[in-house]
Amino acid sequence: MEVDVSYLEESKEVELFELLHNHASLFSGKILVANVGEHKIPLIPGTERGKNPYIYKIPYFLKPEVDNQIAGLESLGLTEPSEAEVANPVVCVTKKDDSMRLCIDFRLLNAATKPFDYPMENITDLINQIGHANIITCLDALIGLPILPTDLVLSKSLWGHTSHFTYGFM
């Protein structure tokens, strides 16, 4: 991979390449499990989660792309066929470039999840914290989700238009 760093001072260029070299495994294109513990979703006590949510109809012209994306997740070892009784529906979302993003509708799971009381910092303060940085970057992830082992089958079970599958991770 070639990176244009001509705009950097030599010392910053060396720092950047050392950083990339030290973390080369993160840029390998392989999915790595985040070894930070198991993901737990605390449910509201007494919550009934026995019914399946509505499964959205996927337009005919999007079905091949849905199948491709699910097959891609399976080839990466992230999903496998499932027979779980309760699952969440997939939703097709059009991105700005007119390609399709496969999303999951977790609204019923979210409704059954115990709320977290974590205050969010003021976004202006967060931007001001990075404003003095020499380098600010936005790296594009291969998969836009952290790969964490999870304990809750419901959070992993999904319905596509022809398949029922489970994420091995959350």
The span from the CA of 147 to the CA of 168, in Å, is 9
Residue 18 placed within a domain: yes
- Does one domain contain both 26 and 40? no
74 and 91 share one domain? yes
Are 74 and 156 in the same domain?
yes
Of 78 and 96, the structure prediction assigns the larger pLDDT to: 96
How many independent structural domains does the chain possess? 2
Q: Are residues 58 and 101 in the same domain?
A: yes
Does residue 165 surpass a pLDDT of 80? no
Are residues 26 and 43 located together in one domain of the fold? no
Overall residue count recorded for the chain in this entry: 170
Residue 43 sits in which domain range? 36-115+141-167
Of 161, 30, 26, 156, residue with least CA distance to 86: 156
Q: What is the pLDDT of residue 20?
A: 86
Looking at the fold, whether 12 and 56 belong to one and the same domain comes out as no
Give the model's confidence band at 62: pLDDT under 50 very low, under 70 low, under 90 confident, else very high. very high
Residue pair 158/168 in contact by the 8 Å Cβ criterion? no
107 in the same domain as 45: yes
**111 and 50, same structural domain?**
yes
pLDDT of residue 84: 73
